[in-house]
Amino acid sequence: MSTTGATGDPLAALGSLPGVADSVESVRKAVDRVYRHRVMRRRSNEITSEAALRGARGSAALSGADWALEEVRRRSDFGVDDQAQVMGAALRLTAEAGQLLSIWRQSPLRVLARLHLVAAATQGDEVGRPRLAGESVDEPLVELELPGADEVSARLEGLSELIIAGGSAPAPVTAAVVHGELLALRPFASYNGLIARAAERIVLVGSGLDPKSVCPAEVGHAELGRTAYLAALDGYVSGTAEGMAAWIAHCARAVELGARESTAVCEALQRGAA
């Protein structure tokens, strides 16, 4: 979705696409169910921590490190091989996202740069900034045509302007667009998928839809599977009304599944079998 030169409130306009309103309402109901659970009144910090862990595991799975949850709990060394580095990056991003909520609405590009710095955990020249012309991107699971550096810069600026301006778009719509735009652009040299999903989390939490961060969309994306994820992304990149609506619906369903996951955690804690 090119946001350059957009007028009015294009994100809100996406909310009127066929089926999107129903998806948004379904998300709200799923989120409400978690927040009304009696365990949330007493042990919400535990649910938040568990959602963070499961969200990081789900995001890493989509980026090629599909580990069992207990393996993620057990491991402490995340620098041994490529999969371990992906998992470590996902865990760091999930932890960092909650620290950046106050900055996001004022300076989203600064937040994205920080997320890449945290994910990469190195000091190379390409870290913490959008890629320059001629620089390659390590994102093997997304095989879409790579936009040039000038287009990346213009579209990031347009996206930033929309976020700063705010608007009336429902949170699931804004989160889906931020997620889709970052995946389509792949603005950094590495870890773009992880960063796109972390940014989606920031929007969902910062909007007030999920203030305690207990509905990890990353869990839902992983459950829906990589094939469906990439097919929905193709719809986003197409820019058609049908494609955009399908991507938003896909992302909304992922939030629902994340909410369902945390509801199950609440119920396990209530039974004393977390």
Exposed, middle or buried, 168 (CB in 10 Å: 0-12/13-18/19+)? exposed
What is the torsional sign of CA 184, 186, 190, 193? Answer: negative
- Determine contact, residues 40/259, Cβ cutoff 8 Å: no
- The pLDDT of residue 8 is 64
Gap between the Cα atoms of 36 and 53, Å rounded: 22
Q: Among the residues of 145-239, which ranges form H helices?
A: 149-165, 171-185, 192-206, 217-224, 226-238
Gap between the Cα atoms of 82 and 90, Å rounded: 12
Q: Among the residues of 67-148, which ranges form H helices?
A: 69-74, 82-97, 101-104, 108-120
- The pLDDT of residue 5 is 37
Q: With b meaning 16 or more CB within 10 Å and e meaning fewer, what string describes 196-213?
A: bbbbbbbbbbbbebbeeb
Rounded percentage of the chain residues whose pLDDT exceeds 90: 86
Q: Compute the half-sphere exposure of residue 256: CA atoms within 13 Å on the CB side of its CA.
A: 16
Tokens encoding 127: 């870290």
The 10s digit of each residue's pLDDT in 46-75 is: 999 999 999 999 999 999 999 999 999 998
What is the torsional sign of CA 206, 212, 213, 214? Answer: negative
**CB count in 10 Å sphere of residue 128:** 19
In the predicted model, residues of the chain with pLDDT beneath 70 are 1-8, 273-274
- Specify which residues 138 forms β-bridges with: 190
Gap between the Cα atoms of 243 and 256, Å rounded: 20
Q: Compute the half-sphere exposure of residue 52: CA atoms within 13 Å on the CB side of its CA.
A: 19
Gap between the Cα atoms of 49 and 30, Å rounded: 19
- Specify which residues 190 forms β-bridges with: 138
pTM to 2 decimals?
0.94
Taking Cα atoms as reference points, which of 221, 208, 249, 204 lies closest to residue 90?
A: 221
The 10s digit of each residue's pLDDT in 204-213 is: 999 999 999 9
- Determine contact, residues 105/206, Cβ cutoff 8 Å: yes
- The pLDDT of residue 10 is 86
